[in-house]
Amino acid sequence: MRVRHHYCIDERESVVEFLKRYPISYEVIGMVGDKTIIFDIYEDQYSYEMFKKSFPMLSISSFKNLEFSKEDIEKSKWLMVSCRGTNVEYVFQKEAFQYSCPYKIPFHKKSFYRHFKQISNLTVEKNVKWGKRQFFSGPNSMENIIFCSERTKNILENRWEGLQFKNVINKKGNDYIDDLYQLFFENSIPFSAFVDAKSVRCHKCRKKMILVSDCIFKIKEEYLQDSSKVYQTGEVITDGRIFGETVVLYIVPQEFYRYCEERGMNRGMDYRPVELV
C-alpha cells in the first residue's frame, strides 16, 4: 500500500521549478494568466518531504489517496472507485449545483464551497478523444467525477441498479457532447452506515460531516448486501476540519471490478477496499 497526494493548484513559477528539479511529472492546463498545475507525489518519495518543507501551505491542499495491491482489491467484497484520468476538460458551472458555505484557501484565486450537490448536467470545454484502451476518465481538476465513452456506456448500462449515465454539455454550443457521459450513482448509504468514522461540523452551518484521515472506510455490512447495486456516500465526506469541500465517494461490488477487469476496462481506475463490519 502506498499513499499518494494529488495536487491541483494555480500555476506558480517556484512550484514548476521544484517539479522540474526532482523531477516530478506534471500537467499544466488552462489559458495564459489562469493556468493550473496537476501532479502527484507519494509519501514514500524524498520529494514529498522536500515539498512539505518548501511549500508548507500548499502541501495541505492535496487530495490523499491510498493505493492498494491487486490482491487487496480482489479479496474485498466492496470497493471505493475513482478515476485518475484527466482527459476531460471540466468547466465548473454554478447552475449545476446547490452550494453553500463559501471559503478561500491560500494560493488559490477562486472561492470554494464547503457543501454542494449536483442538480443538473455537467459542462466540459470540448469533445474527448478516447484511446482504444481507454474507457473512463476523470476531470482535469480535483473533483471526484467519473466520465466514460459511449462504448463504455453500452457495456455497463443496465447491469447495476442505481448506475446512470448522464449527458454532458458542451460549453461552446450548450448542446450534449457525443461520446461522453458522466457515471451517476443514484443509491446513497445513510450517515449511520459508517462505523468508527471521525466526524466534524461545518463552522458556518454546523452540518455534520465525516473526516477522511486515512481513506479507509468501515461500513456496516447490512447496508451493502446486494451486489447487483452500486452506491454513493452522499455529500458528507471531507478531508479537512476547516478547509475542504464535501465530496461524494462511489461504492461498487467486487463483481463490478471483475467485470471491468475481464474486459480490460480498468486502466486509470483506482479501487480501494471497504471494510465491512
pLDDT tens per residue, range 139-188: 988 778 999 999 999 999 999 999 999 999 999 888 999 999 999 999 99
Q: Is the pLDDT of residue 240 over 80?
A: no
Cis peptide bond prior to 23, omega within 30° of 0? yes
Q: What is the pLDDT confidence band of residue 8, given thresholds at 50, 70 and 90?
A: confident
pLDDT, residue 107, reads 67
Q: Is the dihedral of CA 136, 141, 142, 145 positive or negative?
A: negative
Q: Supply the DSSP symbol for 94.
A: G
Indicate whether this model's pTM tops 0.85.
Answer: no
* Strands 218-219 and 275-276, sheet pairing: parallel
What are the CA-CA distances from residue 268 to residues 35, 72, 83, 147, 218 (Å)?
Answer: 24, 17, 6, 12, 25
**Every domain of the chain and the residues it spans:** 2-67, 69-277
Q: Which residue has the cell 495536487?
A: 7
Q: Which three cell numbers stand for residue 151?
A: 462504448
Q: Is the pLDDT of residue 105 over 90?
A: no
- In this predicted model, what pLDDT tens digit does every residue of 84-103 receive, in sequence order? 888 999 998 989 999 899 88
* Cβ-based neighbours of 132, under 8 Å, separated by 6 or more: none
* Cβ-based neighbours of 160, under 8 Å, separated by 6 or more: 228, 229, 230, 252, 253, 256
Q: Which fold has domain 2-67?
A: Alpha-Beta Plaits (3.30.70)
Q: What is the pLDDT confidence band of residue 214, given thresholds at 50, 70 and 90?
A: low
pLDDT, residue 30, reads 78
User: What burial class does residue 129 get, using C-beta atoms within 10 Å of its C-beta: 0-12 exposed, 13-18 middle, 19+ buried?
Assistant: exposed
Q: What is the pLDDT confidence band of residue 242, given thresholds at 50, 70 and 90?
A: low
Q: Supply the DSSP symbol for 43.
A: T
Q: Which residue has the cell 457543501?
A: 115
